[in-house]
Structure 1
Amino acid sequence: MPVLTPDENKYQNNSAVFPAKIITTEREAIEAAKQVAKFAAEEAQHRDQQRVLPHAALDLFTHSGLGSITIPKVFGGPQLSFATVAEVFRIISAVDPALGQIPQNHFGILQLLSITATEDQLKRLYGSVLAGWRIGNGGPERGTKDTLDMRTRLTKTAAGLVLNGEKFYSTGALFAHWVAIKAIDDNQQPVITFIPKHTEGLHIVDDWSGMGQRTTASGTIKLHNALVAPENVIALAPISQQPNIQGAVSQLIQAAIDAGIAHGALEEAKSFVRERSRPWIDANVERNSDDLYIIADVGRLTIELNAANALLKRAASILDQTQAAPITAESAAYASIAVAEAKVLTTDIALAASEKLFEWAGSRSTLAEFGLDRHWRNARTHTLHDPVRWKFHAIGQYRLNGIFPARHSWI
């Protein structure tokens, strides 16, 4: 199987590769995110209700250059800050968190490559992303003990290296050019492989049926003797053997998505209360927005959202500082805990804002025509990626006993 390079644009499928811009400044990235959000907002409710996948919005995301903002300068990228990455995801997720979630694994995998890939692999894979390629996630295994239990196998055969197995929660794969698949090789070692989306033997099934995040297409991948170029196989052992911030970066983006959900829910709640809802009879006010209890609640949730955003910015800043210096076990642990603290608050406020929306706005807000239920469904679904109860545990162990958190993508 030939090694695919960015300029070929022949990854055995009929999907287009849109030429991507190269963003050069933090401000340019934020403005691009705002443009994507403005475009995505127009049909966000319709896409959720009808489960229309956001192809056009995702193409705009890629074409604008947002997909490559973390690529190091030495490989031709802008190497923007994690603070900007978090803000990009927060802005987009405030209008459509499903759209925000689709490239989350793309960025997590780019961070993983910086730890595990060879220079030649980085040149090719980073180069493809700069040219407009997207990376989709193969997802964890279906029916295994936990997310770290891998049963997909990479096997050497007379035809070459082949993948066999079945994955689920494969967010981004349906929209991808590269599909990243984790597997166990013949030496019983974990690897990650990169295969073009329409490789023979790779079948992506759009069977995601979650109640929220309905348009992420986080469905099934089936692999039957799917060929893998040896050059596209990367060992995963360094992830567990050396201090790194790969998991913290992934979690930062998850927290930013939740912060976006909270912002979107709170803004739509305030608008509905002001413009569409009736006051409760005992409030003795002309407008629902003058209800003293609602006013106090809005004030409280605003403070909580500001606190969550402040911890999100702090965590991103710590990640930037950590990456700028040689990463040690101590600095990696500190960064992970900072992100965990942010993740706790963004989870809480996403759920609270999307729930309070209905309490403030009343029965009318539950009508299907308004689609306000999407905020809670999205918040509840997305915040289940990793249990917050274990964030509290990790934070407590670190602060009380000096025990470092586990080294994986969920902390």
Structure 2
Amino acid sequence: MSTQTLYLIFFGGLVPLMFLGYVLGRQKAITIRSQGIKMHSQPDQYGWFGALYTGLPIITIGVCGVFLYLFGVHAIPPTMLLAAALGVGALTLGLLIKNIQGTTKARDLVEDLIKGMLFTASLVSVLTTFGILLSIIFEALHFFQMQSFFHFIFGLEWSPDTAFLEGAGRADANAAEAKFGAVPIFAGTFYITAIAMVVAIPMGLLSAIFMSEYASSSVRSQVKPFLEILAGIPTVVYGFFAALTVAPLVVKFFAVFGIEAQYQNALSSGIIMGIMIIPFISSLSDDVISSVPQNMRNGAYALGMNKAETIRFVVLPSAMPGIIASILLGVSRALGETMIVVMAAGLRPNLTWNPLEDMTTVTVKIVESLTGDQEFNNPLTLSAFALGLVLFVVTLVINIISVSTIRKFHRKYKVSTL
């Protein structure tokens, strides 16, 4: 029996049983109420009680079966597991309907089950994060057993070509030693991100202030959707635009002043990346600024402030926690961008302050290290996990700093409103 057939039978049995549980549970409650017996909950709540608690054992057995299959345990045949799940569900349905009484606290039981589902969903997301982190840490430790940690963190040259040859079995005795100095890669990452944020923060924040404080409702309803369209454009399209339009314009512009610029450069990549991030900062900041109470603005006007002063000294400080969160989202988006960098900035790890030269980022090197025919346990492949671990730590530090800053603004805001 194919997997698709098993899925069809599973959901084909789960849905009717849950629907039947809802109908029978509701009908049983209506019948009991018609006899003049006081009910703890409403009939619909008894219906949901029957439906949810009928589906719970079926889904639990199905999930357990999937995990057993993923971990390579094939002791229970799939057809037997499917029959057991549906059989237990049918038995549970019969017991639930039989034991529904006026004192059955269906509302509380349904709420407890929903709370458990929400807690499980939160727990799954947390465990997934820890699972990703642990998988990165274990493979990174494997890499650091082969290469020096301090050379990786402080090394100024990234040339892993020999490691690729060793993984392919084509290295000779005279081959140069592979070097995994990650400073040029992280320098390029932070440099391009800084250029992007220099473009995105002023443009995004100013557009948010315009839409929330100056634009009329009709203008805002027309301008904001066009601005948010930028967030839906694929990054590969931004990469084409950067490589074919922006980069040649940058080269021609600086050639007028006698300055040579490469066609693959960090400046064009950072500019386009900043344009891509504008809607993230603008949309979130606009929502936060608009949520500042109008009474605070009226109070500032009553004290003699004009509109610009009110925005500067009252509105923006009150909305600063949300603005910082939007900027943090933009920084994270820039740190994780790959396609724009590949197409507009290049693949070469280049430690330079010149934005008109090519350079690369961490995510590009991670993709490059994990593609190809090299073995998984060679240093070149494992270096992707080491790069990912350092990038994770950097992102964590940025989040900690931003949370601390947001809390300071919250405390200041609370004190100022007393």
Task: Verify same fold: TM over 0.5.
Answer: no
Q: Name the TM-score, length of structure 2 as normaliser.
A: 0.23
Structure richer in helix, relative to its length: 2
**Pair member with larger Rg:** 2
Q: Name the TM-score, length of structure 1 as normaliser.
A: 0.23
Structure richer in strand, relative to its length: 1
